Amino acid sequence: MTMSRIFIATSNPGKIRDFAAAAGPYAIEIATLANFSSLPIVVEDGLTFEANARKKAEAYSKYSPGKLVLADDSGLEVEALGGAPGVHSARYAADEPHAAEANTDDEANNAKLIREIRRVPLEKRTGRFVCWIAVARDGKTLGVFEGHAEGTILDRPQGSSGFGYDPFFYSPAIGKTFAELPAEEKAKYSHRGAAFRAFLEWYRTRLVSQ
Which amino acids are annotated catalytic? Answer: 73
Helix pair 13-23, 191-206: axis angle to 10 deg: 50
Which of helix, strand or coil describes residue 49?
Answer: helix
Backbone phi and psi for residue 153, each to the nearest 5 degrees, phi listed first: -95, 120
Backbone phi and psi for residue 13, each to the nearest 5 degrees, phi listed first: -60, -30
For the chain, the residue count is 210
Closest CA to 128 of 101, 160, 165, 93: 165
Closest CA to 31 of 60, 69, 87: 69
